């Protein structure tokens, strides 16, 4: 081996040895930092820099340790040494700029930017660091001045567009911020999400200006952004129309944009609102048009469900007809479920059952049973109880018993309903279904008769959506029962229906009629309902008196905590929820 | 009202009189007392203060059992109190005379005391007529506990209305007249525009050239209220800015956007700290864009380079019989409480005047959290931070629902301050 080669190998080995020696020191410093011991971490990072002045990890670690200790100024010397030792400018100069920005003076800060810019002509990074440090100090005027310098020197009017957008928006210059965000998105599409987040909180008065500006953008990006913003601002259908008007011709790109709009809708606080569901249906329909075969069928079924949820039965039916009545064969269970739901929503139990039977061979047995129960309930709501019973005859599951119990109730079979609902147990179905079942059982157990067709008729009227007839029927049935044997409970139920209908005087009368000493199991609930109603009507003194009476009279009732909450609201002791 | 003429002799006397005037039902065999425990047996600590307050309103004398089961209340068994407890879900016990005698014996032997409360204080909250976009912990605590209060603002303060109250609360007000230094960061926000318009109009209406001058005059009236015997309780940035306003007579500490002229760069050296209640020798923040006023606040929540993380603060223990005022102010069922930010979160030790009593601090940290002192014939208490149950409350956040925090130890400290002025006055032993 020549002398030169030997020398080289010695130097390389020495270098590797030094690097290995540094590793534990750096790890120790990072550990101290993780433990929150910033003073010790700072010393540990310093010891690494003492050997390797240009070590980027140690310099950045030192910065993280010194800033929380309010010792930013101590970074000056290590940052300068790191630059001299050849640290990457994106580390050495960046730290130096942040230090000068924190401790001043401004001409030193400017000098650091200039030196870095001279090393990397045409690069935005030095200016971005300068702007970022100014924004961090809350000095937007300095940030804007730095952006102006960068644009002049780089010769690009759209340089540092994201930073310019942020400062403009923070200044309340929403239209300027919009222009800058469009420029930023043109440079990198990923800025779309940041733009959405920053422009969404725009005050109502400036929104038309923002939209006007976005719609003027010829590239289509502006309309896309406008569409999502309009949807977030409470007009999802209008938002979809803007998106649709800017869709690219290529199907793949168009579907991607539509899917992103659907995601934005899903994340919107008003995702469950009718208009959002309608917009979802429209977007899914637009996807169906651009896809083929199975995917299109699935999109149509989902669109049908969304339209149905929005109450747009005509569009829902159009989607189902487009999918074709024979398409259930081979369609996913969710698609068949959608069709069944839409048809049941329209009261078309016969068509729903026909489609269900057509798809039976391809559906897993559990899926079939779920849909069969829904169809059975659809028959029951139409009053065709025999058809419902026939569909449920072979269903011995607890879910089946729950539905069978409700069907029995609609027929006035109090005993049969009670037995089946009790057998279904407290955990079957969703939490809401279980709670409703428990409430029904509580009511039925107070009625001693095995059969009460009038009560069944009242529940059937309610299921058919004829709440006025239901109230009349419940009150009529209550008149024939002693208060403690279900009479008071039926009046309470009738009062709740009147409350939901907005017929407050009738609700108040019925709650008072249900509040009887002879029915101590019903009276606290009636008083609580009455108290809440009075709070909502602004009759606070009466509400307070009612709720106080309830709490003091029925102090062991499980409803007392709810009554205390309502009392707090009546008194203004807690924020209204 | 001379509130400084307060304190402990009466408390000692009550402890030594096992039954005294309160034993109205003694000898009947029925429970003669209602004990409101304030330890972990209590189901709603915050509402329990309201129960005591309402009993005082009815003319019932209540005893505050300092350091006994978290600072419990003892009052004669009366149907109104029992009804109040049932309605509000407040835990109570019904000790007979024998048990009360044992309790008094226990109090006499330990670091405890029984302080008689005799009059429901008249409470005022300093707040602008419109709703600010942030919540006010004290107003929420008073509403939740059911303690009555009136709202006052600059016209009422300048019109002398403070003299009709015993207790005054200040929350997020910026008495330097710089709108919490939000002007640049929240430019364009409708609430800020309304705040500036309302304050400017009020300053003009009251005959001042600008808002900083008018707020300084308001601060001086508040200081005079304390000097004449009033009780002052301030939180968040009202603490720091009240003292800065008081100390800055003749010194321009306001940015140009507030009074038309930039802040005096030598303002810190010209401050008259002898006029301040709690602080001295603070370094002032010169930048108009940094939402910070001085180094009084240790946490500097809105200054990214200086912001300090939240820890926990610990309540000090005091001798109940020798130092009943401080003891009352720290009654709690928890001694270590999670910290919470405010525009002024804490008070650095090096800026405290020597006579200030520290009620709570973060051990090992250079700041304190909860401080108290006297001024003339009255007292002031400063509590750093904005909302004890919303440690990072942001502008526009929904107000805290205290029914979800009925055991809040931080809110208890606020309510200690409300009841403290109800304590029986006695000449101070010197």
User: Which residues of B are less than 8 Å from A551 in CB distance?
Assistant: 86-87
Q: Is A545 on the interface with B (CB under 8 A)?
A: no
Nearest chain A Cα to B144, which residue?
A573
What pLDDT is stored for residue B339 in this prediction? Answer: 96
Q: How far is B180 from chain A (nearest CA, A)?
A: 14
Q: Which of A134, A138, A200, A202 to mutate to test the interface with B (most CBs of B within 10 A)?
A: A138
Number of folded domains in chain B? 2
Residue A17 has pLDDT above 60, yes or no: no
Q: How far apart are CA A16 and CA B45, in angstroms?
A: 65
Chain A, residues 250-279, CB within 8 A of chain B, namely none
Q: Which residue has the higher pLDDT, A19 or B253?
A: B253
Q: Is B367 left (phi over 0), alpha (psi -120 to 50) or beta?
A: beta
User: Which residues of A are less than 8 Å from B398 in CB distance?
Assistant: 575
Instruction: Nearest by CB to A574, from B289, B304, B402: name it.
Output: B402
Residue A171 has pLDDT above 70, yes or no: yes
Residues B157 and B246 in one domain: yes
Instruction: Nearest by CB to A572, from B143, B188, B403: name it.
Output: B143
User: Which residues of B are less than 8 Å from A565 in CB distance?
Assistant: 403
What pLDDT is stored for residue B375 in this prediction? Answer: 96
The 10s digit of each residue's pLDDT in A208-234 is 999 998 988 877 788 889 999 999 888
Is B103 a domain residue? yes
Is B362 a domain residue? yes
What pLDDT is stored for residue A10 in this prediction? Answer: 37
Q: Is A67 on the interface with B (CB under 8 A)?
A: yes
Nearest chain B Cα to A173, which residue?
B188
Residues B395 and B410 in one domain: yes
Q: How far is A69 from chain B (nearest CA, A)?
A: 8
Residues B238 and B302 in one domain: yes
Give the residue from B117, B147, B166 where a domain finishes.
B117
What pLDDT is stored for residue B3 in this prediction? Answer: 43
Q: Is A73 on the interface with B (CB under 8 A)?
A: no
Contact A170 B185 (CB under 8 A): yes
> In three state form, how does the secondary structure of chain B look?
CCCCCCCHHHHHHHHHCCCHHHCCCCCCCCCCEEEECCCCCCCCHHHHHHHHHHHHHCCCCEEEEECCCCCEEEEECCHHHHHHHHHHCCCCECCCHHHHHHHHHHHHHCCCEEEEECCCCCEEEECCCCCCCCCCHHHHHHHHHCCCCEEECHHHHHCCHHHHCCEEEECCCCCCCCHHHCCCCCCCCHHHHHHHHHHHHHHHHCCCCCHHHHHHHHHHHHHHHHHCCCEEEEECHHHHHHHHHHHCCCCCCCCHHHHCCCCCCCHHHHCCHHHCCCECCCCECCCCCCCCCECCCCCCCCCCCCCCCCCEEEECCCCCCCCHHHHHHCCCCCCEEECCCCCCCCEEHHHECCCCEEEEECCCCCEEEEEEEEECCEEEEEECCCCCCCCCCCCCCCCCCHHHCCCCHHHHHHHHHHHHHHECCCCCCC
Is B249 a domain residue? yes
Contact B185 A67 (CB under 8 A): no
Average pLDDT over chain A reads 87
Nearest chain A Cα to B88, which residue?
A564
The 10s digit of each residue's pLDDT in B242-293 is 999 999 999 999 998 899 888 998 999 999 999 999 999 999 998 887 889 9
User: Which residues of B are less than 8 Å from A561 in CB distance?
Assistant: 89
Q: Which residue has the higher pLDDT, A136 or B41?
A: B41
Interface of B with A (CB under 8 A): 83, 86-89, 143-146, 184-185, 187-190, 287, 289-291, 302, 304-306, 308-309, 398-399, 401-403
Q: How far apart are CA B337 and CA B327, in angstroms?
A: 17
The 10s digit of each residue's pLDDT in B368-394 is 999 999 999 999 999 999 999 999 887
Instruction: Nearest by CB to A139, from B289, B306, B399: name it.
Output: B289
Residues B293 and B382 in one domain: yes
What pLDDT is stored for residue A332 in this prediction? Answer: 58
Q: How far is A485 from chain B (nearest CA, A)?
A: 30
Q: How far is B113 from chain A (nearest CA, A)?
A: 31
Q: How far apart are CA B113 and CA B107, in angstroms?
A: 6
Contact A140 B184 (CB under 8 A): yes
Residues B110 and B137 in one domain: no
Residue A18 has pLDDT above 60, yes or no: no
Residue A345 has pLDDT above 90, yes or no: no
Q: How far is B368 from chain A (nearest CA, A)?
A: 18
Contact A138 B143 (CB under 8 A): no
Whether residue A407 contacts residue A399, with contact meaning beta carbons closer than 8 Å, is answered with no
Contact B86 A573 (CB under 8 A): no
Contact B401 A140 (CB under 8 A): no
Q: How far is B401 from chain A (nearest CA, A)?
A: 6
Residues B261 and B319 in one domain: yes
The 10s digit of each residue's pLDDT in A408-462 is 999 999 999 999 999 988 888 888 888 889 889 988 988 888 999 999 999 999 9
Residues B33 and B144 in one domain: no
The 10s digit of each residue's pLDDT in B295-313 is 999 999 988 778 899 999 9
Residue A80 has pLDDT above 70, yes or no: yes
The total of other beta-carbon atoms located within 10 Å of residue A565's CB is: 19
Contact B289 A137 (CB under 8 A): yes
Q: How far is A102 from chain B (nearest CA, A)?
A: 7
Residue A383 has pLDDT above 90, yes or no: yes
A557 DSSP assignment: -
Is B430 a domain residue? no
pLDDT tier, A577 (very low <50, low <70, confident <90, very high otherwise):
low
Distances (CA, A) of B353 to A141, A352, A408, A521, B363: 38, 81, 80, 63, 19
Residues B310 and B212 in one domain: yes
The 10s digit of each residue's pLDDT in A497-550 is 999 999 999 999 999 999 999 999 899 999 999 999 999 999 999 999 999 999
Is B198 a domain residue? yes
What percent of chain A has pLDDT above 70?
A: 93
Contact A72 B305 (CB under 8 A): yes
Which of B152, B158, B185, B186 is closest to B170 using CA atoms? B152
For residue B61, the enclosing domain spans 8-117
Which of B255, B245, B258, B261 is closest to B287 using CA atoms? B255
Nearest chain B Cα to A555, which residue?
B86
| Structure ipTM | 0.79
Q: Is A562 on the interface with B (CB under 8 A)?
A: no
Instruction: Nearest by CB to A138, from B89, B290, B309: name it.
Output: B290
The 10s digit of each residue's pLDDT in B40-59 is 999 999 999 999 999 999 99
Residues B113 and B129 in one domain: no
Q: How far is B399 from chain A (nearest CA, A)?
A: 7
Is B1 a domain residue? no
The 10s digit of each residue's pLDDT in A289-340 is 998 877 888 888 889 888 888 888 888 888 877 665 555 544 556 667 778 8
Nearest chain B Cα to A102, which residue?
B305
Q: How far apart are CA B196 and CA B198, in angstroms?
A: 6
Q: Average the pLDDT over B101-128 and give the result.
A: 95
Residue B86 has pLDDT above 50, yes or no: yes
Instruction: Nearest by CB to A564, from B89, B291, B308: name it.
Output: B89
Nearest chain B Cα to A70, which residue?
B306
What pLDDT is stored for residue B129 in this prediction? Answer: 82
Residue A143 three-state SS: helix
Contact B87 A548 (CB under 8 A): yes
CA A501, A506, A510: angle at the middle one, nearest 5? 110
Is B2 a domain residue? no
Q: Which residue has the higher pLDDT, A271 or A40?
A: A40
Contact A564 B401 (CB under 8 A): no
Which of B39, B119, B36, B113 is closest to B81 using CA atoms? B36
User: Which residues of A are less than 8 Å from B304 in CB distance?
Assistant: 136-138
Instruction: Nearest by CB to A172, from B187, B290, B402: name it.
Output: B187
Instruction: Nearest by CB to A573, from B146, B287, B398: name it.
Output: B146
Which CATH number goes with the domain that contains B396?
A: 3.40.50.880
A-to-B residue pairs, Cβ atoms closer than 8 angstroms: 68
Residue B67 has pLDDT above 80, yes or no: yes
Give the residue from B102, B117, B132 where a domain finishes.
B117
Q: Is A567 on the interface with B (CB under 8 A)?
A: yes
Is B428 a domain residue? no
Q: Which residue has the higher pLDDT, A430 or B20?
A: A430
Instruction: Nearest by CB to B146, from A172, A555, A571: name it.
Output: A571
> In three state form, how does the secondary structure of A438-459 look?
HHHHHHHCCCCCCECHHHHHHH
Residues B54 and B157 in one domain: no
Q: What pTM was estimated for this model as a whole?
A: 0.67
Q: How far is B139 from chain A (nearest CA, A)?
A: 10
Q: Which residue has the higher pLDDT, B251 or A106?
A: B251
Residues B347 and B295 in one domain: yes
Instruction: Nearest by CB to B86, from A70, A171, A555: name it.
Output: A555
Residue A21 has pLDDT above 70, yes or no: no
Q: How far is A528 from chain B (nearest CA, A)?
A: 14
Give the residue from B117, B132, B152 where a domain finishes.
B117
Query: Based on C-alpha coordinates, what's the Rg of chain A?
Result: 35
Q: How far is A534 from chain B (nearest CA, A)?
A: 18
Residues B94 and B187 in one domain: no
Residue A157 three-state SS: coil
Q: How far is A106 from chain B (nearest CA, A)?
A: 14
């Amino acid at each position: 081996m020549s002398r030169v080669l030997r020398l080289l190998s010695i130097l390389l080995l020495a270098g590797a040895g030094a690097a290995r020696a540094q590793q534990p020191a750096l790890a120790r410093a990072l550990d101290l930092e993780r433990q929150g011991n910033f003073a010790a971490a700072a010393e540990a990072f310093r010891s690494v820099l003492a050997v390797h002045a240009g070590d980027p990890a140690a310099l950045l670690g030192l910065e993280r340790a010194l800033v929380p200790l309010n010792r930013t100024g101590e970074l000056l010397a290590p940052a300068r040494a790191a630059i001299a030792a050849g640290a990457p400018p994106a580390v050495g100069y960046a730290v130096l700029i942040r230090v000068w920005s924190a401790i001043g003076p401004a001409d030193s800060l400017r000098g650091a930017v200039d030196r870095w810019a001279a090393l990397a002509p045409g690069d935005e990074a030095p200016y971005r660091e300068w702007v970022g440090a100014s924004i961090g100090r809350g000095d937007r005027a300095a940030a804007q001045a730095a952006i102006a310098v960068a644009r002049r020197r780089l010769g690009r009017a759209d340089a540092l567009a994201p930073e310019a957008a942020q400062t403009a928006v923070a200044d309340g210059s929403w239209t300027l911020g919009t222009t800058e965000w469009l420029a930023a998105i043109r440079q990198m599409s990923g800025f779309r999400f940041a733009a959405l987040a920053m422009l969404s909180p725009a005050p109502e008065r400036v929104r038309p200006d923002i939209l006007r500006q976005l719609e003027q953008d010829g590239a289509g990006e502006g309309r896309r952004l406008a569409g999502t913003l309009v949807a977030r601002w409470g007009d999802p259908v209008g938002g979809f129309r803007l998106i649709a008007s800017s869709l690219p011709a290529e199907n793949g790109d168009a579907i991607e944009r539509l899917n992103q709009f659907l995601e934005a809708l899903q994340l919107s606080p008003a995702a469950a609102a009718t208009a959002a569901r309608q917009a979802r249906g429209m977007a899914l329909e637009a996807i169906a048009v651009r896809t083929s075969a199975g995917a299109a069928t699935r999109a149509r079924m989902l669109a049908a469900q969304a339209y149905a949820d929005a109450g747009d039965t005509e569009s829902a039916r159009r989607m189902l007809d487009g999918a074709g009545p024979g398409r259930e064969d081979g369609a996913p269970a969710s698609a068949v479920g959608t069709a069944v739901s839409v048809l049941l929503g329209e009261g078309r139990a016969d068509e729903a059952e026909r489609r269900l039977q057509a798809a039976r061979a391809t559906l897993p047995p559990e899926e079939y049973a779920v849909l069969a129960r829904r169809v059975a309930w659809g028959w029951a709501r139409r009053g065709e109880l025999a058809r419902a019973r026939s569909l449920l005859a072979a269903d011995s599951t607890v879910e089946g018993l729950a539905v069978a119990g409700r069907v029995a109730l609609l027929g006035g079979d109090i005993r049969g309903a009670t037995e089946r609902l009790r057998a279904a147990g407290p955990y079957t179905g969703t939490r809401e279904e279980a709670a409703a079942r428990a409430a029904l059982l509580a009511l039925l157990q107070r009625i001693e008769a095995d059969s009460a067709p009038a009560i069944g008729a009242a529940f059937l009227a309610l299921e058919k959506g004829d709440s006025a007839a239901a109230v009349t029927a419940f009150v009529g049935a209550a008149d024939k029962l002693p208060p403690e044997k279900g009479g008071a409970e039926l009046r309470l139920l009738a009062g709740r229906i009147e409350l939901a209908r907005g017929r407050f005087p009738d609700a108040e009368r019925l709650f008072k009629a249900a509040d009887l000493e002879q029915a101590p199991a019903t009276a606290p609930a009636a008083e609580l309902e009455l108290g809440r109603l009075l709070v909502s009507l602004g009759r606070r003194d009466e509400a307070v008196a009612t709720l106080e009476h309830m709490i003091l009279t029925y102090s062991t009732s499980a409803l007392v905590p709810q009554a205390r909450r309502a009392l707090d609201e009546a008194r203004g002791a807690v924020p209204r929820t | 009202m001379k509130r400084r003429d307060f304190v402990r002799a009466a408390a000692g006397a009550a402890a030594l009189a096992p039954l005294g005037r309160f034993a109205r039902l003694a000898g009947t065999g029925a429970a003669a007392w209602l004990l409101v425990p304030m330890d972990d047996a209590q189901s709603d600590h915050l509402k329990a203060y309201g129960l005591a307050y309402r009993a005082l309103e009815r003319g019932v004398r209540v005893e505050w059992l300092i350091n006994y089961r978290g600072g419990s209340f003892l009052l004669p068994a009366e149907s109104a109190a029992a009804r109040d407890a049932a309605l509000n879900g407040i835990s109570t016990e019904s000790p007979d005379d024998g048990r009360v005698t044992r309790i008094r014996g226990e109090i006499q032997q330990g670091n405890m005391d029984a302080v008689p409360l005799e009059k429901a204080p008249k409470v005022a909250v300093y707040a602008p007529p419109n709703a600010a976009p942030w919540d006010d912990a004290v107003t929420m605590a008073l509403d939740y506990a059911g303690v009555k209060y009136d709202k006052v603002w600059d016209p009422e303060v300048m019109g002398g209305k403070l003299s009709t109250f015993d207790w005054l609360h200040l929350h997020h007000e910026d008495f330097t007249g710089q709108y919490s230094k939000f002007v640049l960061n929240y430019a364009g926000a409708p609430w800020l525009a309304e705040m500036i318009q309302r304050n400017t109009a009020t300053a003009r209406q009251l005959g001042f050239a600008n808002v900083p001058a008018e707020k300084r005059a308001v601060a001086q009236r508040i200081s005079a209220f304390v000097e004449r015997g009033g009780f002052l309780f301030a939180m968040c940035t009202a603490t720091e800015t009240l003292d800065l306003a008081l100390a800055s007579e003749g010194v321009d500490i306001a940015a140009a956007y507030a009074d038309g002229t930039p802040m005096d760069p030598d303002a810190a050296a010209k401050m008259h700290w002898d006029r301040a209640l709690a602080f001295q020798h603070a370094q002032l923040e010169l930048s108009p864009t940094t939402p910070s006023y001085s180094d009084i606040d240790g946490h500097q929540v809105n200054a990214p380079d200086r912001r300090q993380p939240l820890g926990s603060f610990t309540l000090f223990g005091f001798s109940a019989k020798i130092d009943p005022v401080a003891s009352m102010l720290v009654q709690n069922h928890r001694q270590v409480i999670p910290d919470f930010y405010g525009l002024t979160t804490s008070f650095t030790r090096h800026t405290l005047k020597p006579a200030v009593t520290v009620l709570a601090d973060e051990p090992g940290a250079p700041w304190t959290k909860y401080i108290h002192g006297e001024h003339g014939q009255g007292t002031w208490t400063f509590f750093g931070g904005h909302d004890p149950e919303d440690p990072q409350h942001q502008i526009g956040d929904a107000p805290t629902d205290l029914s979800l925090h009925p055991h809040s130890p931080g809110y208890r400290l606020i309510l200690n301050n409300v009841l403290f002025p109800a304590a029986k006055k006695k000449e101070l032993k010197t």
